[in-house]
Copies of this chain bind each other. A is one copy, B any other.
Amino acid sequence: IIATGAKPSIPPIHNIQKNGTLLDGVYVLRTIDDGKQISSCIKNGGKATIVGAGLIGLEMADALYKKGMDVTVVELLPDILASTLDSDMCKPILKEMSEKINVYTNYLVIKAEEKEGKIKGVLIQDKETNKERQLKTDVLVIAAGTKPETMLAESIGCKIGKTGGIVVDERSGTSVKNVYAVGDCTQYSDFVTNEPLSVGLGSIVVRQGIAAGINAAGGTYNLPKGFLLTRTSKFFGIEIAAVGPVKDACQNIPVIYGKFKGSSLPEYFPGGKPISMKVGVHEKTGEVLSAQAVGYNTAQRINTFACAILSGVNVEDFKKLETAYAPPIAPTLDVVTLVCDVASLKRMRKRRIP
């Protein structure tokens, strides 16, 4: 059973390495030792720059901000959290974060400035205007994704997929008999799009481990036909969660989206907190394909959509789901069904009018 994990992607930043090692003050975040090293560099009022606005980058930004640092996040893509949420769901998050930290989206980090082997700043460049900007920094954390570590697997002839991961099936088996692979080093499929994916979500990795262990020992354990990609995070007081492919990953599927802004409690009960949801359904079949949520208690709400996707339930049925209601706990009709009402209406209209 191969569980070699992944190594951090280091973007091509000029001058970031000296004699084959990262400059002093430049870190990646993979191991507990990485965490301890970053931790030792924290100083109140110091400047921290993070490369990458994915889940890890933003969680890191939150942690360093809470420790009193002046934090800047630089992201290559036009949006933060590109593989987690659609652009429209990110806008309010970006607005809220921008009150606490600096965020540069659509910016490339092109060069590191150093003094005696220690990071002092970075030069970043606007991808559209090519305008450059200098940022002083005491710490630079690279959170630009990972690359599957496949050296061992390749050496014994395991098939490597186009994402760079070891191709595994629903048994966590590789292309080589009696060789299994699990975790960040693997490539499996997206449940909805069927496209190959290499992901490192802990929940998935643990299940792959269960599958590989049972199958290698002669038992039978088949994973679902693909990853649902149920994911969640929390930073700057904002809880987010999602399941299924983002919009950009659904190019070949006709998807209707519904959106709804609701509250965690009935409108007449004090203390309700806002929840924004978006659901994607197949225009023709009505199957629930994806859901995204920002706000209070969204992870558990997204799990209900994960179940809907896993079981292939139709939005016309799911919108009538009887959810648990009590004034101090949840509204009469929960956001999870109201957002489906919106998607259902949009779908009905689209299918009636040619």
**Interface residues, chain A, with chain B CB atoms under 8 Å away:** 201-204, 206-207, 223-224, 227-234, 239, 241, 243, 297, 299-304, 306-308, 310-313, 317-318, 320-326, 328-330, 332-334, 336
Contact = CB atoms under 8 A, between A and B. Distances in A.
A325 B203 contact: yes
A230 B324 contact: yes
B325 A303 contact: no
Contact of A307 (B207, B228, B311, B330): B311
Nearest to A307: B307
A324 B304 contact: no
Contacts of A313: 307, 310-311
Given A203-B324, A300-B330, A308-B311, 9 more contacts: A201-B325, A203-B323, A206-B332, A230-B323, A233-B326, A299-B324, A300-B300, A300-B301, A310-B318
Given A201-B325, A308-B307, A313-B307, A223 B320 contact: yes
A333 B303 contact: no
Contacts of A224: 317, 320, 322
A300 B304 contact: yes
B321 A232 contact: no
A321 B329 contact: no
A317 B313 CA distance: 14
Contact of A303 (B231, B310, B320, B324): B324
A328 B231 contact: no
A311 B303 contact: no
Nearest to A310: B321
Q: Kindly name the residue among A207, A228, A320 whose own CB sees the greatest number of chain B CB atoms within 10 A.
A: A320
Contacts of A332: 202-203, 206
A227 B325 CA distance: 14
Contacts of A308: 307, 311
Nearest to A327: B202
A330 B330 CA distance: 19
A60 to B, nearest CB: 13
A31 to B, nearest CB: 15
A2 to B, nearest CB: 20
The 8 closest A-B pairs by CB, nearest first: A300-B300, A232-B324, A311-B311, A299-B324, A203-B325, A311-B313, A307-B307, A228-B322
Contacts of A304: 300, 303-304, 306-307
B203 A322 contact: yes
Given A301-B300, A330-B300, A311 B320 contact: no
Contacts of A325: 201-203, 230-232
